[in-house]
Amino acid sequence: MGHRTAWVAGMAMAIALHAAAGAQPAAPPTPTATPAREALPAYLKTPSIQHSVLKATTFRVATTLAQTAVLSAATGSLAAGTVLAMFDSTKSAVLFAINDYAWDSFVPVEPPKAAETRFDIAGSFWRNAGEFITFKPVDAGLRFVGFYLFTGSGTTALAWNGLSSFATTAAFFANNTLWDLYEWSVRQDPT
């Protein structure tokens, strides 16, 4: 599959998912009101762009450091590696926040039941996998274009994109799983 075909397929999938959702966010779950629930921060009660931006920030800190190291080694220049990493970081942060907010709006996370005493790592993984599938094709496609415009070489851009994609994949799952664990622990009803 060519790069243009992969990019078009990713965009078609994103448009189809948006159309299938009817562009109407799902109603957030309505758990019973408890004093502990009322004390939760607003971003844990309903979808919040501020919360998505917080998650995007922690994601970008980790990946920007990794990208700077990889791209500086690849270009042989700390300055060039930093410029490419900053381009990639900015692009991915915007995409990550939009994607995360869309998932929180269209597929809200159910609050833990009173009897749940363990974090559902499998549920977190599958939700994160869904988020990743809607994030990664667009992210990788734009990264490839940026690297190609910088280097003028499709082969070099493809190699850098591969290394960068590996680093961001690991960071994506680690970041989202840690946030899920944090949110689960905050949502626990101590009563």
Asked whether residue 63 is assigned to any structural domain, the reply reads yes
Task: Report yes or no: 84 and 75 within 8 Å, Cβ to Cβ.
Answer: yes
pTM of the complete model: 0.60
Q: Determine the structural domain holding residue 120 and report its residue range.
A: 49-108+115-187
Number of H helices, E strands in the chain: 6, 0
Count of structural domains within the chain: 1
Instruction: Determine the Cα–Cα distance for residues 181 and 110; give it in Å rounded to an integer.
Output: 14
**Residue pLDDT tens, the chain, 191 long:** 444 544 444 444 444 444 444 444 444 445 455 545 566 666 666 777 788 888 888 888 888 888 888 888 878 899 988 998 888 888 888 998 899 999 988 988 777 776 667 888 888 888 889 999 999 899 989 989 988 998 888 998 888 888 888 887 888 888 888 888 888 887 765 55
Instruction: Determine the Cα–Cα distance for residues 1 and 15; give it in Å rounded to an integer.
Output: 20
Instruction: Determine the Cα–Cα distance for residues 150 and 157; give it in Å rounded to an integer.
Output: 8
Asked whether residue 85 is assigned to any structural domain, the reply reads yes
Asked whether residue 11 is assigned to any structural domain, the reply reads no
Rg of the Cα atoms in the chain: 19
Indicate if the alpha-carbon torsion angle 32, 33, 35, 37 is positive or negative: positive
